[in-house]
Structure 1
Amino acid sequence: MTATVTATDSPLLRPLRIRGLDLPNRVVMSPMTRTASPGGVPTAEVAQYYRRRAEGGTGLIVTEGVVIDHPSAMDHPDVPNLHDRAARDGWRRAVDAVHEAGGRIAPQLWHVGPLFGAMRRIDDVRPMRPSGLWGEPGVTSYPQEYVDRAVTPTASMTDTDIADVIVAYAEAAGTAANLGFDAIAIHGGHGYLLDSFLWASTNRRDDAWGGDLQRRTAFPAAVVRAIREAVGEQIPILYRFSQHKQQDYTARIADTPEELGVVLGALVDAGVDVLDASARRFDAPAFEGSDLSLAGWAKRTTGAITMAVGSVGLGKSLHDGRLAGPTVESVDNIAELEQRLGADEFDLAAIGRLHLADPRITETLRERRPLPEFDRRKHEAVLT
């Protein structure tokens, strides 16, 4: 089936100013891992891949995860970094290409934390885990062989480990600002390092970095403060958070809106401008008794700018789509997205897989063209 949007004056097309950044519309390219940067160096093809999305009218491009300079930040050699000279040159080329096309771009800073070893097995590097724990296994798409190996406890992070990681985040952000990136995005969800401090299953510490929910926010908030100091007051900071974890899709960091407010309020106070609410479906109710989405509750509890993501224009979530087969049909949920944006439930809409299927997806939305199907075999494999 095909789906079309409802109007050319869609709330998706409204401009938005965030600190010193002006966005022409509310459409954001969601970060998606590509593993297409050999040795961590973004190629000319990577630059053109992002340029094509800018040419298609996307308001803000958030790149694939970019590795900070820490030994256990990443377990795949072809995920890009920001600290090697060649990688910096590659990112400068990408930033220039996006700007030449009239676009805006932010790197998503990434440390995989407890999930080190999920992409490739590496036995001689210690994963960074708050309490040495991978997390209680639940509903996951990881193979059992990896889970069996990963659940073996490791040493907890030391104060020195924590300090080193904070510095690495700040240095990566400062480098990004110097390269001309327009904003900084932080991956703080899905069970990765920052998220693992929020999740009670992985954070069993009884010091300043753990304990009750308020203290479990201390490390992510410290990272945000360090990044804010590194980039100054004009560059926006986006922070991706989630309830679900890749260790367990049913896991939660907050059982009530009030608990969610504790976590997100600490991040906003530390310097976050945009809360990127990662969910399997953008319109899924976050808590019982209300139809409000996770992005909606983030906005209601903090007053911050929020971004919704999850199955925009598609009939299945990323997890369910991978289980069902390679092709995911488009579905007419754009009117629902517009209604929620128009009602100010949230402020931005991040679109992932349809940006792979159609580099000009924002133009497609604006001109009410049929939405494409997403075919994993064709759209995940190459930089198109």
Structure 2
Amino acid sequence: MREVEQHSAIKTEEQDAEFQRLLENDEAISEALQKTVQLQAAELKELRTLRHKYQEQARELEELRKKVMASPSEESKHGEWVQQPCRHDRLDARQALVDFVRPWTNSEPDGSALQEPTASHVEEIVLEAGHANAIVRDHRKRAFIVPHCLSALKKIHGLHNTCIFYYRDFKELRVHGTTLFDDNIGHVVIVLPPVEPLRSWIPMVRAVSMWVAIGCIVYLVAGPRTIDDDAWYRVAAQARNHVNSFVHAHPQYQRQLVDKLPTVAGAAYRGFPSFAIAALESQDDIIPERNARLFYTVCARQLAHLVTLEPLPSKGACTQGVNQPYPLVKEGRIEKRRLRKQAQKLKKKIASAPCPAMP
């Protein structure tokens, strides 16, 4: 009997010790939870302070934007002409304001919704379909800048929203007296020359800076190859170095420059348009129109995920027979038509000639 009592006493003491240990663990866990709750409360208070701060700044920006758009400028009051920013620039300003406000328009960590800021309606303006269509209309044109070896593309007629310009040297990319920097141009594709130019790259960098300043997106594409592959890779490396130096000085234009040049000398993507046509024996060689069309088509395919280039129109029906794979001149129709017109003119001339007097 004593042994049973001793055993129950020992068991009771063990249970008391276990209970005391669990109680101490609960107290430690409670203290840790209280500290965590206090830290979260402090963070929540800091977030609320930042929220109010950024809401005030957003209100100030919104009021300033309304004042600027409502009141005319000093130059326009005196009757002088002032160039208005295009819809592209106005939309960029509104989108920047939306990106500034959006992180503070979500719900708080505790689940409570924040008060809607004053500039929240800007997001609705940005997403409005009318402004999107206006941007498409303002920047619908594309500029395709090619070296002289691809000058056959200039002879192609029927392109409505594409301006093709070929150059012999970068100095021909003049800022003044040209339509290359029109406000309607939104995308510019620069095809580099086969070999490195003899003069400076500064005119090309100046033209790129002008395009990105007016809101265009510039694409750098490798041009046709010559039999000297090292010269072709050297052109790509020099172009990238000069453009990177411009980007380092103006990092705000980095998103408007697209590099489609070979990255390493001796290794290039086989989908480049340069590999779709044969290599040139000399940089002065002119690529035939058929190969120039192929170069343009492959270039459009390479940039299809970034921009949609206008397809080249097919050759006119006057040089192609009806349901025939060969030109009309081989059928003899052109020659017959010309002879028929000459015979009709001769008949009219004889009929209109005065009759000779009778003796």
Which structure has the highest strand share of the two?
A: 1
Relative contact order higher in (CA < 8 Å, ≥ 6 apart): 1
Computing the radius of gyration from Cα coordinates, the structure with the larger value is 2
Which structure has the highest helix share of the two?
A: 2
Q: TM-score, normalised by structure 1?
A: 0.29
Q: TM-score, normalised by structure 2?
A: 0.30
